[in-house]
Structure formats: C-alpha cells, structure tokens
C-alpha cells in the first residue's frame, strides 16, 4: 500500500539550504519550507523528501552527520520540525528524511571517542585497520577520489576507512550495536511523525572482506566488488524493514550506488519500496555535457523492463540540471523541459522531482572555483592543480563532476532576493542566471509555462490508475523516439516522446480509438510528425470495446 502512495503521487525533493530562507541569513530553513507548503500542495505534492537537516559540520552539506537526534541550528529547531510535520499532515503531505548511515561525520562523538580512546567500544563502530610496511590496509579508493584509508593522527600505521570524504568515516555494519543504534534513530524520527527514509548510498554499507579490489571500472571505486550490494547489506535491509518500517507503515527508499538493473531488483524483495540507480545520470557521457537521446532511451528501457518499482529521476542535488543534460539548451528547451516532466509522470515506478525542476532551472552560466561549495569540486580542483592541468581544463573537469549546479537558491519571485531570502540579503550560494525569467511568480501567471504544465502532467498521473500502477511495454520506434503502452485492468494509455531536437515521424500505434490526454506543444492541425521534444499521452480503447 505504501508503495502505491509513492507510485501515485511521486516524491518532491527539497534541498533545505537552498529552498527558502525565512530569517535572512542567506540559508534556507525549516520555517522557509513551512511558508511554502501551500505552494507545494498546489503542485500536487504529497511526499516530501528533505535532504539532511541534522547537526553537521556541513563539509559534505549535511551528508556528514554529527548528531542524528538534533536539527542543525541553521535550519531551525526541533519545534520548527514538529510544526512542519503537523502542517504538512494537514495538507496530506508526508515527510521523508534522509538517512545517512554508511558513514557519520568525523565530528560525531562516536568517532571522536574512537580516536581518543582506542580501547573504547566505539572503535568497533568504525573500521580501523593496520597497514603493513608503511602501506595502507588495501588498495580501495574513495568515491570522492584518492585512497579510501586515512591514517589516524598520532597512531602511525593505523588507518580508518572512508568510502567518501576523509571527514566521513564508514560505520562498521558487522557490529550489532551499530545496527541497534540505527534502529533507534529510525524509531526516534518515526515517533516524530516521519513517513520514512531515503537511505543514502545504502548499497555500500556492508563490507564483506577487505581484500584488494581487482576490477577497475572508471565509473566505480576500486574495491567495489567487496562492498557493493553484498549479501550482508540485503540482510540488514530485510531486518530493518521487518523490525521498524513494516509495523509502522513507513517507506524505505534506497540510493544504490554502483548497482545495475538486475542487482537493483533484488533490493525490492522485502527490503526497499523503491530505489534509484546511477546509470541514467552518466550513461556514456564521461566528458560529454549532454547524454545522447539514443543512450538515454536504452538505459530508460532497460531499467523500466527489469526493475518493478524504479525511482525515476532526472535531477537531484548531486546532478546537473536536466535541461542541458538530457535536452539541448536553446530554441526548444522549454518543450524539452516539459517533455522530461511528462516522461517522469508517464513511466512505471515512482516519479521523483527536484526543487526548481518545475521551473526548468538550468546550470549556472559560470561558476568559479571560489564560488563553489562542493567537496567534490574542491577535491578535483586541488588534484588537477597538482598535475599542472591548465586552469580552463581543470575547471571544466572539476565542474563537470562537481555538484554545485543543482544546489542554487530557488527563485520564488522577481524581487530583490527572488523570494528565496529577504531583500538586500546575500544567499549562501549565488542565484541562478535565469532567476528573473524562471521563477514561481512568473510561472504562475503564464499558462504556457513549465510550471503550469507540470501541474497538469502531475495531476493526470495522480488521477489515473493506469499511469500510476499499470504495466509497461515498449513498442518499436525510431532509436530517438520512445513509444510505450501502459496497461491496467483492461485500460490502456499510449505515451510518445521525441527525445531529440529534430523532427521525427510518428511511429505506428496499436489499433484502437485514441483520445489525446496531454501534449507539451500547442494542439496542431496536423499530427503526422513529431516536433523536437514533443510528447503526448493518449487514452486508447481496445479495438471493438467501449471501455475508456
Ligand atoms: C550520496 C549523496 C551525496 C553525498 C554522498 C555521500 O550520494 O546524495 O550528496 O555526498 O552520498 O554521503
Ligand atoms: Mg535562514
């Protein structure tokens, strides 16, 4: 049932520091989110995922937690949180927290204790190992670059594991106490009315062995075969589901790093409600800014066919904005933005939307090294500096893998501060270049805006069982055109997408009378060809039947 709620309504992700700033310190906060609940509700949002709001030194923007039981003061207080949950509930909006338990912050008292007192029980909360002959314990690398081992200060030859930044030591999931701590955290937040959790890099929590990694795939850290999608990880998730989530009717959403479609499906058997993989975000685009339509199509089809309840997303706080990535900037980008939103609303699984996507926000025109806040970009700039890579190329690469472009302040209006912060105040990260033209106020006034279209597309999905719950099957079409059928209890919908910026022929449809339910371009007399990025959803009757 809970999975049904996700499938029907989808999930909207908020990046709290950049959503809405109520007190003018330039950083978004809980009261800011509270003030926008009516806006979210008017969009049709019923499930809200908040990126981390816990106490954190923010070296990885909150994905480094120093206290799982308290709200980061920049976001507000526990009272603000309680008000948010209560007010959200009134609007039938449920709150989903981010749960980061592959690692903690190095500031967390557990880790501090582990460093101070090697004999304390907290040593075993983390993964400390000795290196032999001045070498690190093994050859594993961190997803953020460099070795995954950091030498302990004052303890020569002893290292701790961090699959992300060195400020993010990995927890030891072989230790039953760690499991019990996490269980306590889940219950604590569910007692506060939280609906569930988006589990950060959950595919990596269990390390089966500490042997050297042999596989070297450029898209994966060295050692991956020892810690990605291990049996131990599945057991932990099954247990959490059984002991906490199921009895309390909550949801678990997993971020699955380094996992393919077949492995992903295994996480849906009594573990997660839905999940996201990474193939969709970087398929064959290592240095290319834009993903080619045919590659986009191939990955989409594969995950739709092999994953029963995929989390479909095109944007989040780690990715570049989707317009510019899946759709070419320029003349047709507004049609493109609408096409991508239609796609999310038409696919099987759970649609995920990221703040600002409903406005078609795009990456910054320019973002200098000094303007960046992202740990990944900073790391890469430093690294490439060491190798004397010329500045232009260095910034290009660091920005391509850096994650600042989706993390800018949300523009709500055209006035000074863009309704994100108070007039005259400086936002923590600069405003998007398009904030004046693409903000909520402008979008609300314009019936042809992406925002107005988003409302239509989402409400169509939510009111339609076929789009929410139907099976999917793909029909033959051009390699840059997507044509699929959704079927549910004898009813059918056909969805058609031109993923390219070129005109295309309309592929042949299954037989039956068609009614156009949604189109992202103005109705045209002749519908015999597809405009760039055109998308349509039809209701289609069974031949010889009258059922709609
Ligand atoms: C996830 C988060 C990302 C974070 C990383 C480490 O991928 O989405 O923002 O840096 O995990 O916690
Ligand atoms: Mg603030």
CB distance 201 to ligand 1 below 6 Å:
yes
Q: Is 255 a catalytic residue?
A: yes
Q: How far, in Å, from the CA of 24 to the mean position of ligand 2?
A: 5
Sequence-distant (≥ 6) Cβ neighbours of residue 257 within 8 angstroms: 143, 201, 203, 204, 228, 278
- DSSP label of 215: -
Q: What is the DSSP string of 442-505?
A: HHHH-TTSHHHHHHHHHHHHHH-HHHHH-EEEE----TTEEEEEEEETTEEEEEEEE-SSS-EE
**Burial call 198-228: b when 16+ CB within 10 Å, e when fewer:** bbbbbbbbbbeeeeebeeeeeebbbbbbbbb
Does the pLDDT at position 546 exceed 60?
no
Single out the catalytic residue among 60, 200, 332, 358. 200
Report the distance separating Cα 350 and Cα 270, nearest Å: 17
CB distance 60 to ligand 1 below 6 Å:
yes
For the chain, what percent of residues have pLDDT higher than 70?
97
Distance from CA of residue 34 to its chain's centroid? 22
Distance from CA of residue 15 to its chain's centroid? 10
Report the distance separating Cα 225 and Cα 304, nearest Å: 25
What is the pLDDT confidence band of residue 525, given thresholds at 50, 70 and 90? low
Question: Containing H/E element for 540?
Answer: strand 535-540
The closest ligand to the CA of 102 turns out to be 1
Report the distance separating Cα 401 and Cα 420, nearest Å: 26
Q: What number of CA atoms fall less than 13 Å from residue 85's CA on the CB side?
A: 16
Contact 326, 284 (CB under 8 A): no
CB distance 126 to ligand 1 below 6 Å:
no
Mutate to test the pocket of ligand 1, among 57, 63, 198 (most ligand atoms within 8 A of CB): 63
Mean pLDDT of 483-506: 97
**Which tokens sit at 398?**
């660091």
What is the pLDDT confidence band of residue 218, given thresholds at 50, 70 and 90? confident
Contact 374, 403 (CB under 8 A): yes
Task: For residue 14, give the nearest of 418, 433, 407 by alpha carbon.
Answer: 407
- The pTM assigned to this predicted structure is 0.97
CB distance 63 to ligand 1 below 6 Å:
yes
In this prediction, residue 534 carries a pLDDT of 97
Does the pLDDT at position 545 exceed 60?
no
pLDDT digit string, tens, across residues 335-365:
999 999 999 999 999 999 999 999 999 999 9
pLDDT digit string, tens, across residues 87-140:
999 999 999 999 999 999 999 999 999 999 999 999 999 999 999 888 999 999
User: Checking DSSP bridges between strand 529-530 and strand 535-540, what pairing results, if any?
Assistant: unpaired
Mutate to test the pocket of ligand 1, among 60, 101, 254, 375 (most ligand atoms within 8 A of CB): 60
- Write down the residue that tokens 């969709």 correspond to: 280
In this prediction, residue 548 carries a pLDDT of 44
Which ligand 1 atom is the nearest neighbour of the CA of 100?
12
Average pLDDT over the chain reads 95
pLDDT digit string, tens, across residues 185-195:
999 999 999 99
Nearest 10 degrees: CA dihedral of 16, 21, 23, 29?
Answer: -10
Report the distance separating Cα 125 and Cα 174, nearest Å: 9
pLDDT digit string, tens, across residues 393-408:
999 999 999 999 999 9
57, burial (CB in 10 Å: exposed 0-12, middle 13-18, buried 19+): middle
- DSSP label of 374: -
What is the pLDDT confidence band of residue 24, given thresholds at 50, 70 and 90? very high
- DSSP label of 121: G
Which ligand 1 atom is the nearest neighbour of the CA of 316?
8
Farthest-apart Cα atoms in the chain, separation = 80
Report the distance separating Cα 421 and Cα 25, nearest Å: 8
Single out the catalytic residue among 80, 150, 255, 480. 255
Q: Which residue CA neighbors atom 7 of ligand 1 most closely?
A: 201
CB distance 243 to ligand 1 below 6 Å:
no
SS3 307: coil
Q: How far, in Å, from the CA of 447 to the mean position of ligand 1?
A: 36
SS3 310: strand
The closest ligand to the CA of 204 turns out to be 1
CB distance 170 to ligand 1 below 6 Å:
no
Q: In the chain, what is the straight-line distance between the N-terminal and C-terminal CA atoms, in Å? A: 25
What is the pLDDT confidence band of residue 531, given thresholds at 50, 70 and 90? very high
Report the distance separating Cα 103 and Cα 417, nearest Å: 36
CB distance 362 to ligand 1 below 6 Å:
no
In this prediction, residue 528 carries a pLDDT of 78
Does the pLDDT at position 48 exceed 70?
yes
Q: Is 542 a catalytic residue?
A: no
Beta bridge partners of 54: 71
In this prediction, residue 523 carries a pLDDT of 65
Q: Which residue CA neighbors atom 9 of ligand 1 most closely?
A: 318
Q: 3-class secondary structure for 415-450?
A: CCCCCCCCCCCCCCCCCCCCCCCCCHHHHHHCCCCH
Does the pLDDT at position 47 exceed 50?
yes
Q: How far, in Å, from the CA of 275 to the mean position of ligand 1?
A: 15
CB distance 110 to ligand 1 below 6 Å:
no
Does the pLDDT at position 288 exceed 90?
no
């Amino acid at each position: 049932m809970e999975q049904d709620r996700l499938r029907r309504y989808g999930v909207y992700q908020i990046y709290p520091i950049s959503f809405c700033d109520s007190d003018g310190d330039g950083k978004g906060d809980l009261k800011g989110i509270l003030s926008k609940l009516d806006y979210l509700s008017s969009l049709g949002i019923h499930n809200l995922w908040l990126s981390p709001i816990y106490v954190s030194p923010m070296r990885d923007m909150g994905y480094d937690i120093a206290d799982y039981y308290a709200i980061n003061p920049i976001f507000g207080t526990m009272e603000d949180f309680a008000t948010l949950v209560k007010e959200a509930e009134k609007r039938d909006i449920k709150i989903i927290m981010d749960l980061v338990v592959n690692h903690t912050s190095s500031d967390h008292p557990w880790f501090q204790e582990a460093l101070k007192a090697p004999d304390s029980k907290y040593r075993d909360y983390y993964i400390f190992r000795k290196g032999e002959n001045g070498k690190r314990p093994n050859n594993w690398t961190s997803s953020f670059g460099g070795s995954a081992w950091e030498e302990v200060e004052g303890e020569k030859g002893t290292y701790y594991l961090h699959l992300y930044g060195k400020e993010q030591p990995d927890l030891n999931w072989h230790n039953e106490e760690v499991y019990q701590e996490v269980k306590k955290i889940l219950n604590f937040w569910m007692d506060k009315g939280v609906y569930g959790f988006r589990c950060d890099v959950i595919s990596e929590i269990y390390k089966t062995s500490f042997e050297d990694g042999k596989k070297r795939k450029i898209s994966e850290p060295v050692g991956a075969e020892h810690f990605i999608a291990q049996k131990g990880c599945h057991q932990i998730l099954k247990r959490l589901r059984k002991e906490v989530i199921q009895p309390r009717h909550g949801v678990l959403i997993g971020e699955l790093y380094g996992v393919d479609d077949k492995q992903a499906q295994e996480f849906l058997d009594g573990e997660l409600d839905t999940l996201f993989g990474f193939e969709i975000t970087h398929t064959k685009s290592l240095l290319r800014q834009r993903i080619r339509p045919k590659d986009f199509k191939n990955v989409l089809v594969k995950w739709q066919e092999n994953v029963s309840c995929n989390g479909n997303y095109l944007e989040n706080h780690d990715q570049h904005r989707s317009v510019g990535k899946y759709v070419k900037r320029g003349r047709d980008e507004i049609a493109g933005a609408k096409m991508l939103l239609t796609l999310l609303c038409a696919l099987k699984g759970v649609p995920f939307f990221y703040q600002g996507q409903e406005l078609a926000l795009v990456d910054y025109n320019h973002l200098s090294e000094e303007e960046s806040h992202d740990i990944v970009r900073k790391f890469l700039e430093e690294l490439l500096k060491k190798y004397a890579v010329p500045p232009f190329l260095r910034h290009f690469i660091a920005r391509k893998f850096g994650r600042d472009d989706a993390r800018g302040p949300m523009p709500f209006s055209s006035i000074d501060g863009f309704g994100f912060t108070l007039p005259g105040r400086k936002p923590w990260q600069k405003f998007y270049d398009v904030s004046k033209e693409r903000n909520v106020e402008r979008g609300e006034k314009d019936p042809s805006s992406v925002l107005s279209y988003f409302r239509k597309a989402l409400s169509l999905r939510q009111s339609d069982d076929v789009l929410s719950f139907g099976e999917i099957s793909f029909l033959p079409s051009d390699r840059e055109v997507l044509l699929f059928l959704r079927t549910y209890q004898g009813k059918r919908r056909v969805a058609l997408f031109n993923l390219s910026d070129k005109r295309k022929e309309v592929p042949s449809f299954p037989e039956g009378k068609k009614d156009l339910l949604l189109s992202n371009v103005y109705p045209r007399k002749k519908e015999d060809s597809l405009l760039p990025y055109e998308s349509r959803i039809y209701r289609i009757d069974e031949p010889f039947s009258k059922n709609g």
